[in-house]
Structure 1
Amino acid sequence: MKEPKRCNWTKIQGELIHLVKKYKVYEMQDEKVTMVAWNKISDDLKMSVDKCRRLWDSLSMVYKRLKLMIIEGKLSESEARKNYWVAKYVDGSLAFLEPFVLKAPPDEIEKIKNHANTKRILSHLLRYDIDKSSSVPSSSRVRKRRFDLSNFTVKHCWNTKQKYPLETYMDDLARAICTSLQPADRRMFIKEIDTIVSDLLQK
Structure 2
Amino acid sequence: MPTPSRRGGPAGSTTGACWATSGGVLSETCGGAGGNKSIAGSTGWTDYRLAGDVRIDSGAQAGFVVRASDPGQGADALDGYYIGVSSRRIVLGEQNGAWKELAQTAVPGGLATGRWYHLTVKAVGCALTVTGRPSGSPAPPTGFTYQDPDCSFTRGAIGVRDQAGTASWRHLTVTGSG
Common fold by TM > 0.5? no
What is the TM-score when the length of structure 1 is the normalising length? Answer: 0.22
Please say which structure displays the higher CA radius of gyration: 1
- TM-score, reference length from structure 2: 0.24
Larger strand fraction of residues:
2
